[in-house]
């Protein structure tokens, strides 16, 4: 049992690392991006096999608020992973080129971009819900918990700021066909930003999960306030810190190196597009 649990943890860590690599398209490049995506697809399948008993219990037992929340996020995450993988393979030029065009590229391009970002957000919430279980072995006093929670609240606020600044809402709402990436940004900064954005949703998922867990959380008001504070920090930073690039909109495009070098053709995506293949 310990060996199985360790293998499950290794799989979870591997999926998280590959997810961060997939979201760093401007660092890995298209070819490596596709092969990393195939690796992610394999780990997702392994993860489902390891958790196959969870599917058998879906229609059994009572559903508390916590179980309903966890089940909903898990199912949405599986759907978003599947759609992202299918759409990515439909545009593959290296990993599975024989599958290119199995679905209309004009459709899968927009769907792939949106679903990849939904997968990122849902993965953050999924990780956050499991944080209390992963940290159950740590015995911190209330003062330490409050200090750590405040620090992570500020970091989550920075993550929400990056979420807004990097046009994630446009991608999630199917308002964009291309992800405009800054290829001049240092690789370490790209990964740091992705970690902070993922962490902001993990922070949110942790607090929501704690509130929903058996309905017996002792500090639901405190957790809701912390989530709101993090969101407000992100919004304020987005207003106060000027952007070096024009913000994304349906009628304008970034003017720096984040702008794609060409418009999409029938066979090749522009350099600025984010192909996230899970």
Is 48 a residue whose pLDDT tops 60? yes
φ/ψ of residue 211, rounded to 5:
-65, -45
Taking CA atoms, 93 is separated from 23, 97, 209, in Å, by 18, 5, 40
DSSP-derived letter for residue 215 is T
State the average pLDDT over residues 193-221. Answer: 88
Provide, for the chain, the percentages of residues in helix, strand and coil under a 3-state DSSP scheme, each rounded to the nearest 5: 65, 0, 35
Q: What is the CA radius of gyration of the chain?
A: 20
Per-domain residue ranges for the chain?
2-240
> What is the tens place of the pLDDT at every residue in 22-35?
999 999 999 999 99
d(CA 52, CA 20): 25
For residue 182, the tally of other CB atoms under 10 A from its CB is 18
Give me 76's structure tokens: 């949405």
* Distance in angstroms (rounded) separating the CA atoms of residues 119 and 268: 24
What confidence tens digit (pLDDT) does each residue in 214-263 have?
666 667 888 999 999 999 999 999 999 987 654 444 334 343 344 443 33
How much of the chain exceeds pLDDT 70, in percent?
Answer: 85
Cβ–Cβ under 8 Å, residues 64 and 215: yes
CA nearest 148: which of 218, 203, 91, 208?
Answer: 203
> What mean pLDDT is predicted for residues 169-198?
92
Whole-angstrom distance, CA of residue 238 vs CA of residue 65: 33
195: nearest Cα among 244, 124, 243 = 124
């Amino acid at each position: 049992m310990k060996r199985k649990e360790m293998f499950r943890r290794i799989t979870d860590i591997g999926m998280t690392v590959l997810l961060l690599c997939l979201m760093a398209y401007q660092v890995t490049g298209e070819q490596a991006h596709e092969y990393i995506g195939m690796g992610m697809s394999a780990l997702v399948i392994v993860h489902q096999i390891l958790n196959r008993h969870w599917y058998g219990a879906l229609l059994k037992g009572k559903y508390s608020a916590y179980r309903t929340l966890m089940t909903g996020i898990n199912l949405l995450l599986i759907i978003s992973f599947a759609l992202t993988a299918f759409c990515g393979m439909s545009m593959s030029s290296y990993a599975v080129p024989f599958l290119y065009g199995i679905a209309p590229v004009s459709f899968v391009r927009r769907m792939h971009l949106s679903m990849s970002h939904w997968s990122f957000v849902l993965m953050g919430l999924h990780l956050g819900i499991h944080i209390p279980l992963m940290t159950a072995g740590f015995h911190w006093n209330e003062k330490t918990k409050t200090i750590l929670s405040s620090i992570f609240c500020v970091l989550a606020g920075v993550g929400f700021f990056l979420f807004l600044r990097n046009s994630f809402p446009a991608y999630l709402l199917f308002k964009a066909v291309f992800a405009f990436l800054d290829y001049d940004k240092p690789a370490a900064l790209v990964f740091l930003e992705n970690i902070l954005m993922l962490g902001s949703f993990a922070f949110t998922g942790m607090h929501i999960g704690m509130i929903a867990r058996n309905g017996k959380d002792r500090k639901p008001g405190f957790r809701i306030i912390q989530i709101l504070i993090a969101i407000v920090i992100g919004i304020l930073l987005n207003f106060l810190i000027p952007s070096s690039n024009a913000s994304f909109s349906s009628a304008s495009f970034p003017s720096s190196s984040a702008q794609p070098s060409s418009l999409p053709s029938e066979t090749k995506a522009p350099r600025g597009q984010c192909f996230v293949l899970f």
